[in-house]
């Protein structure tokens, strides 16, 4: 005899606290997974600005990607080596290690297969110098803040399909 199943919707665990109806895990469980039967592509978002990171993660999860998040350069570097993501969305201005330093470190690491990882840079700076520096260090695409989410997703998709 099996134990009775709890009838809990794991995606939307609702909890009333004061005036607020908290839908726990809601940001990590958006609309739908667009890639239900496929092996999910792994994306690492290295972004220190919390709201920007949460928005990107939300939208990427909605599209069915397996998304991880690192809040600073050191954590980002560690995560890249640990989970070997298919794509890294990399902010350039980061505490600890900057985006450029991460790219440099990856390029210099002989154990790391830099050709297998795709990087999309995300930064405030629009100068052509930064773009070319990032490209020279191995980044494949560049999105400047402020950005349109649609454009961000389009560029990211292009990078993943390359």
Partner 1 sequence: MIEFFTTYAERIILVVLILLILVSLVVFSGAVMSRWLLNRNIKRRERIRIYFGDLVIRYISGDLSFEKLKRQLHTVTDYIILLEVVNRLDLVLEGEEERRLKRLLNLKRIREYFTKQFENGKPLDAARACLYFSRQRKVKESLLPRIAEKTVDTVPAMAYSAGMAIMVHGNAAQKKVVIHNLMKNRGISNQAMSDLIKAFQSHTTDDRVAEGELLMDLIAARSYSPERTALMIRALGELGFYESAGFLLNEFEELDADDHDWLITEALIDVLTAFGMHEIQSKVRECFVASSYNIVRRASARALGVFPEKMNVHHLEWLLADSDFYVRFDAAKSLIDGHGIDPDELNVVALSEREWKELKGEIMESIKETA
- Nearest CA to 45 among 133, 148, 120? 120
Angle between helices 149-161 and 50-62 (to 10 degrees): 60
Q: Which residues contact 60 (CB under 8 A, 6 or more apart)?
A: 43, 45, 67
Residues 75-134 that bind partner 1 (CB under 8 A): 128-129
Tokens 């790219």, residue located: 103
For residue 77, count other CB atoms closer than 10 A to its CB: 20
- Contact residue for partner 1 among 33, 42, 49, 98 (CB under 8 A): 49
Contact window for partner 1 (CB under 8 A) among 6-14, 37-45, 78-86, 142-150: 142-150
Neighbours of 108 (CB within 10 A): 9
Residue 31 vs 84, nearer CB to partner 1: 31
Number of residues that bind partner 1 (CB under 8 A): 28
Among 10, 110, 146, 162, binds partner 1 (CB under 8 A): 146
Between 112 and 135, CB nearer to partner 1: 135
State which of residues 42, 71, 145, 155 lies at the interface with partner 1 (CB under 8 A). 145
Handedness of CA 102, 104, 110, 114 (dihedral sign): positive
Residues that bind partner 1 (CB under 8 A): 17, 19-23, 26-27, 30-31, 49-52, 54-55, 58-59, 62, 128-129, 145-151
């Amino acid at each position: 005899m099996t134990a009775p199943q709890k009838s809990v919707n794991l995606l939307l665990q609702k909890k009333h606290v004061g005036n607020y109806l908290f839908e726990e895990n809601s940001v990590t469980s958006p609309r739908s997974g667009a890639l239900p039967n496929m092996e999910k592509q792994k994306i690492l978002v290295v972004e220190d600005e919390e709201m920007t990171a949460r928005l990107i993660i939300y939208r990427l999860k909605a599209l069915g990607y397996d998304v991880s998040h690192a809040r600073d350069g050191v954590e980002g570097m560690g995560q890249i080596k640990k989970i070997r993501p298919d794509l890294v969305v990399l902010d350039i201005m980061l505490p600890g290690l900057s985006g450029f330093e991460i790219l440099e470190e990856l390029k210099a690491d002989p154990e790391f297969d830099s050709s297998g990882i795709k990087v999309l840079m995300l930064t405030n700076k629009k100068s052509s110098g930064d773009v070319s520096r990032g490209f020279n260090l191995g980044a494949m695409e560049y999105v400047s803040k402020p950005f349109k989410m649609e454009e961000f997703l389009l560029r990211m998709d292009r990078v993943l399909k390359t």
